[in-house]
Structure 1
């Protein structure tokens, strides 16, 4: 895909949840009361700030993430979508995604979100077993999850959902049964994440205490390989390490990230990447929700970081994101981002070792990770980038 067609995305972060999941390290918070009118006004102010920096762009995707953005009033999403359309051109096939939890209360709002302009929903199902959902700290049960999937299919032309696997005590046979059942409710996209222990989470403490154990490396590998086999056989191969889709149904917004395109990050803690006057700029908004509101009220935005990304760091970011994709990185992208060819951006000896070991490949003018390399991507990146 040519560099001018990577898209331009808008990410909107809603930082609130009903409860904090024990595995989650996202910027999410629980609050007894939320002044949504103030939040709506602040999103529109910060949006106007970024629009002034990026005039004339065409928006290919909007993504409401969190937190739990399905807790928002649909009128807030409508106001943001309308403002995006006022500030920028809108692609004819724009993708507008909202993350939602499958509790009955939130699922009941899906029709209103569609009326507000959402055309794709991403449901945080995570498991189809009540005991496992309780372990993961989720607020819904398996019946609610399946009902929400059915409602999403009736409400949206495109929807996706997440599952977490490689959970404690999970066998290959049990995961095969659960995944097969999930696929009977899938449309054209599904995200499948191995459970990892993130710093600062409740699970980090519980894992350190020995409250539970994760499957060992061999078992995780078997679960991963079986996942690829089942999804590939269902016509939904992995286009990214954890994301599977029928051809043409990939998440357009996430592809902006992975192809190292430009995007605005709006809301508490949101990150952005913008090309301004030929420079790649990293932006980051203030993380604390109340402080973010105060800063937006005072100056029209809550940008805590707005720094130019050095050439070497651009290479590292582009490689870390692009090698997640099955399509890899077009060699021309190195030149477009840095002014240098790939061989001048990466260490030749390290690259040769990884290609010789079957972890990376040069194919059709692209650098890509093989299936074996994507399965071990952290180690591959550590070796490649030093």
Structure 2
């Protein structure tokens, strides 16, 4: 029998995530750590993020150069190319970036139209993730976006001329959205030729404006069965167009355009999280740690200035928590996960009888020690994961 693979760590990917917390407008569905941009001096926070990366280096002697750098938020496209170049340089100086490293910037359509995209490319960015969310003006207004459909279309066209490696984000399963409406919208998005599309069902989180509206009865989320119908339609339309799902919500024309940074999350790799509220997963000395940076920008800056890094917490994960996370994340991509990794951490076997049932139902496939959900099974991902969870 072959030796069981390592359960987690940088051999499954090593990324750096930078969280920029400011937004021109806070969307009613957003549950991230974000704040209104306003007029402010960004220099202290940029300086703190760069210093935070430097502080991480001696704590992670087993890590080589990073596979990816992801600038998310918030709205990091509010930053100037020179500021972004400074963050890329800090990542390079602290850890190094592999020659083919994926460097992604999340960008809103309005920013794409005003930005120096060539300057952005010169700063090191080689992939854009564009927050389009919809091509319907009434939906954009409902979602609280600060752009309309015309701006979204112009932004995608402009972005694709400079960044062939661009991803488009859309939100569906909106209240009242019909099957036919969503199909037409998908077909319009496909016409732009983006090699990667991320499609997220609208989730109503309790702490958000939408969550509060739903609690008061002012908003009714789409029924689960209707959401499932739209999910199946999404898979059919994008697969037929040559963008099959390589993960529950993500589609790409080929492996070359799949998100390397997100694959690090799903595959149980390591990533550093810097910036207010950023999370990380770090493997050191055979143990795995969960880090969370201070959420308030001022507190984060003060922590870094005290040379303690921006972490508010970096706790060692218990084996059972590691195992459950590996299972939940590992079943998201279409490639699945080697069950031995989970069983090694949990020190117990996954229930084979349940796996057999899932295979018989067409929800899962099993190839040796590797298990993966089918397209049908991904509709039930949360429930199936809970059934198998050690």
The TM-score, its normalising length taken from structure 1, stands at 0.93
In structure 1, C-alpha distance between the alignment counterparts of 2:23 and 2:132, rounded to whole Å: 15
Q: What's the CA shift for 1:160?
A: 0.5
In structure 1, C-alpha distance between the alignment counterparts of 2:342 and 2:227, rounded to whole Å: 33
What per-residue deviation string (whole Å, max 9, x for no partner) do you get for residues 191-245 of structure 1? 0011111120110122223333333222212211111011101111000100000
- Structure 1 runs (4+) deviating above 6 angstroms are none
Q: What's the CA shift for 1:173?
A: 0.6
Question: 1:329-340 alignment to 2 at 5 Å?
Answer: 329-334=337-342, 338=345
1:319 aligned onto 2:323: no
Partner of 1:92: 99
Give the 3 Å change call, closer, same or farther, for CA 294–151 of structure 1 in structure 2: same
In structure 1, C-alpha distance between the alignment counterparts of 2:308 and 2:51, rounded to whole Å: 5
Q: What's the CA shift for 1:350?
A: 4.2
Partner of 1:39: 45
1:358 aligned onto 2:362: yes
Unaligned runs of 5+ in 2: none
In structure 1, C-alpha distance between the alignment counterparts of 2:167 and 2:193, rounded to whole Å: 7
Give the 3 Å change call, closer, same or farther, for CA 33–225 of structure 1 in structure 2: same
1:274 aligned onto 2:278: no
In structure 2, C-alpha distance between the alignment counterparts of 1:294 and 1:104, rounded to whole Å: 30
Q: Looking at both structures, which has the greater relative contact order when contacts are Cα pairs under 8 Å and sequence separation is at least 6? A: 2
Quick check: 254-263 or 307-316, which moved more?
307-316
In structure 1, C-alpha distance between the alignment counterparts of 2:363 and 2:240, rounded to whole Å: 23
In structure 2, C-alpha distance between the alignment counterparts of 1:352 and 1:97, rounded to whole Å: 40
Partner of 2:58: 52
Of 133, 145, 155, 1:148 maps to 155
| Secondary structure at the counterpart of residue 103 of structure 1 | helix
Question: 1:359-378 alignment to 2 at 5 Å?
Answer: 359-378=363-382
In structure 2, C-alpha distance between the alignment counterparts of 1:261 and 1:240, rounded to whole Å: 16
1:346 aligned onto 2:350: yes
Quick check: 201-210 or 163-172, which moved more?
201-210
Q: What's the CA shift for 1:109?
A: 3.6
Quick check: 19-28 or 68-77, which moved more?
68-77
Unaligned runs of 5+ in 1: none
| Secondary structure at the counterpart of residue 17 of structure 2 | strand
The TM-score, its normalising length taken from structure 2, stands at 0.92
Give the 3 Å change call, closer, same or farther, for CA 132–285 of structure 1 in structure 2: same
Whether contact under 8 Å (1:100, 1:107) holds in the other structure is no
Quick check: 118-127 or 108-117, which moved more?
108-117
Partner of 2:184: 177
Partner of 2:383: 379
Quick check: 292-301 or 351-360, which moved more?
351-360
Give the 3 Å change call, closer, same or farther, for CA 306–345 of structure 1 in structure 2: farther
| Secondary structure at the counterpart of residue 299 of structure 1 | coil
